[in-house]
Structure 1
Amino acid sequence: MAYKIVVVDDDPAMIAAIRNILISADMKAIPMTSGKVLLDFIELQTADLILLDVIMPEMDGLETLSALREKEKKLGKRQIPVIFLTAEDNRYIEKRALELGAMDFIKKPFVPEILTLRVSHCIELITLQNELTKEVKKKTKENEQLFLGIVKSLAAAIDAKDTYTNGHSVRVAEYSQEIAKRAGFDEDMQQRIYITGLLHDVGKIGVPDAIINKEGKLDDVEYEIIKSHPEKGSTILKNIKEMPELTIGAKWHHERYDGKGYPEGLSSDQIPEEARIIAIADSYDAMSSNRSYRRSMPQEKVRAEIEKGKGTQFDPYFADIMLQMIDEDKNYDMREKET
């Protein structure tokens, strides 16, 4: 496949000379006489490389490169590598061009073989970088899937301690991810909140099954043991150095917006956003699921409790998003499926 090279120079003779050199090297040359023409071209098309003259009227090479990078960012396009063409020996121009992302300089007048070699080497380098980036992303994705599988297995083991909460952690994670999505968090943050939601109850590993599954009211000692699970979860998860934020959901999902929660009595914005999201998702699932001490609540009762808790138990912004999700769930399908 022939490389597609854009040549931007206000000198028609120079463009013609470069074009002939590139064609003889089996490359496709696209001539342009100004930076404005290049910017218009980028709106709809792309190229493998740009050869850009420094000294041009109206918009010089540095201004053109700066505008090009802004446009690429705005359009969400990859950055096209740029080599400057210049007869100048100016350190400021060279420094500024490199700051803007230029890959190389070719001095005028140039030797045809040097021009083709530098162009070829530049494109080959970019191609190699792109291939490496793809491979890294592929391996990262594979590792993420492996990690997610392990996390889901751990979450299932946690839920298995309570005969009434099968799938609780997955549902909390899914509700939390949807709240984060509707709140405008980017996809990476949504995924992190999902994983954090999966592990929010990991501290229950250290709570005896008899207490978790007790059908009657907990006594004071038992309640204090239950209240210890956020700290236990934080201790377990802090050893995962690659994702330190995992501790956030585990440690603070029982904090309240009014400061009356545990373990630290944080309030309002003192509570990390992830924990505020998980707190409401956790409460929704607790109310809409069967528990050892009661049956699931009717949807209207769940909605009323969340409305009542806005600004006291729950962050009002995230509570409103949860209420919106409930209102859209006409058949109460979002909750735990009855068996």
Structure 2
Amino acid sequence: MNSIPYIIVVDDDPIILKKTWNTLTDAGFKVAVFKSGNALFEYSKDNPAPNLILMDINMPEMDGFEVIRELKKSEKTWRDTPVIFLTANEDEDTETIGLSLGAMDFIRKPFVTSVLVLRVKHAVELIRLQRDLEGVVEEKTRENENLFLHVVESLADAIDAKDNYTKGHSGRVAAYSKEIAARYGYDEKRQERIFMMGLLHDVGKIGVPDEVINKPGHLTEEEFACIKKHPGIGGKILSNIKEMPELSAGAKWHHERYDGTGYPQGLSGEDIPEEARIIAVADAYDAMTSNRSYRGVIPQAKVRTEIENGKGSQFDPKFADIMLKMIDEDKEYLMRDKLNNNLI
């Protein structure tokens, strides 16, 4: 969009269209006029949105209220375009309905040309200021999110450092979880959220002694009981982050099993938060494809069999199926190595 404000006028009265076009072009605006809502929608298919739409309410076929309802369903730039209604109707209900549908303001007809120009100039300037402010807020939000992500990554690295054999485990689980979520249909915001949850899923291990985490061979019952405390510890730590309460779900419930035989609470099926069900599959895959203190990397065919066999018992079948597809696409068994090299 260039620096000249672009205004669209929609009205079934050709006299109003001509007068509005003359008035606003003389004032320095770029103006396009349409006789109906249908004509506006045809135009919107292949053209950029304006800075502002001035629109009559009482029009044949589609009235102004119907047009604004449809605009709210359209492509984002058009959906967010401010609308000012031009109307001869002074009824309170009309104004109430228009504002409730998202109209910015009303201009009464017949309008005074100088007043129309001032109202449009003020509206365009207000819109510009609002968008500038939104831009500043978005930039600061991104800065804060990036800072938070760096802190989370550092914390995840510190947790992984407790285990001599699982360097990068949290980052890989986060990336696998994000990929599963993306394939399942999560939008970008939810993908980023599950990535963060994956990074922090093992934060509770901060409360588990290093000698238990790094013990070669099988754990005693007491040691395994100690390990089983880490989801509860992690959930408690992350529940203190009030700004992102969902973070604790991955840490607290990633060892629950779909059939209800997991821990710490024995949740089953849909009672386990969806993100935790995704992280459970990602965590199991990375555990099997990494060296551990008690064994080496498991062959890919066996990893696939374990995931397949775990459908409906350990794993939610739909997320296990997505992981199986990822495995099948990984013909050379390099998914983990590519991830470590930031190639996927």
TM-score norm. by structure 2 comes to 0.94
The offset of 1:104, in angstroms, is 1.4
- Aligned equivalents of 2:13 and 2:313: distance in 1? 70
Q: Distance in 2 between matches of 1:64 and 1:276?
A: 43
Q: How much does 1:156 deviate?
A: 0.5
- Cα distance in 2 for residues equivalent to 1:121 and 1:193: 43
Task: State the match for 2:245 in structure 1.
Answer: 244
1:1-339 equivalences in 2 (<5 Å) = 1-45=3-47, 46-72=49-75, 77-335=78-336
Matched residue SS, 1:30: strand
For structure 2, the residue ranges without an aligned partner over 5 or more in a row are: none
Whole-Å Cα distance in 1 between the matches of residues 109 and 175 of structure 2? 60
Maintained 8 Å contact 1:34/1:56: yes
Structure 1 residues 231 and 8: CA distance shift in structure 2, 3 A: same
The CA deviation at 1:43 is 1.6
Encode CA deviations 1:20-70: one digit per residue, 9 max, x unaligned.
211221112212222221121122222111121222233322223223333
Q: Distance in 2 between matches of 1:336 and 1:207?
A: 28
Aligned partner of residue 50 in structure 1, secondary structure = strand
Report the Cα offset of residue 188 of structure 1. Answer: 0.8
Please report how far the alpha carbon of residue 97 of structure 1 lies from its aligned counterpart in structure 2 after TM superposition: 1.1
Query: What percentage of residue pairs aligned between the two structures are identical?
Result: 60
1:261-304 Cα shifts (integer Å, max 9, x gaps): 11111111111111111111111111111111111111111111
Q: Distance in 2 between matches of 1:51 and 1:112?
A: 14
Q: Deviations over 1:135-170 (max 9, x none)?
A: 111111111111111111100000101100111111
Distance 2:36 2:284 in 1: 61
* Cα drift, residue 336 of structure 1: 5.3
Q: Aligned partners of 1:129 and 1:153: how far apart in 2?
A: 36
- Structure 1 distance, partners of 2:78, 2:330, is 38
1:93-121 per-position Cα deviation (integer Å, ceiling 9, x unaligned)? 11111111111111122221111010011
Q: Secondary structure at the match of 1:164?
A: coil
Contact 1:288 1:336 in 2 (8 A): no
Q: Secondary structure at the match of 1:7?
A: strand
Instruction: Give the 3 Å change call, closer, same or farther, for CA 336–213 of structure 1 in structure 2.
Output: farther
Whether the aligned pair in 2 keeps the contact of 1:285 and 1:336 (CA below 8 Å) is: no
- Give the SS at the match of 2:74: helix
AA matched with 2:82? P
SS at match of 2:31: strand
- Conserved? CA contact 1:161–1:209, under 8 Å: yes
TM-score, normalization by structure 1? 0.95
Aligned residue for 1:5, secondary structure, equals strand
CA contact (8 A) 1:289 1:336 kept: no
Distance 1:28 1:183, change over 3 A: same
Distance 2:71 2:310 in 1: 51
SS of alignment partner, residue 106 of structure 2: strand
Partner-residue secondary structure (3-state), 1:70: coil
| 1-structure distance, mates of 2:337, 2:169 | 8
Q: SS where residue 85 of structure 1 aligns?
A: strand
CA distance in 1, matches of 2:8, 2:33: 6
Structure-2 separation of matches of 1:291 and 1:67? 57
Structure 1 unmatched runs, 5+: none
Distance in 2 (CA, whole Å) between partners of 1:72 and 1:316 is 35
Alpha-carbon distance in 1 for matches of 2:311, 2:242: 34
C-alpha RMSD over aligned residues: 1.6
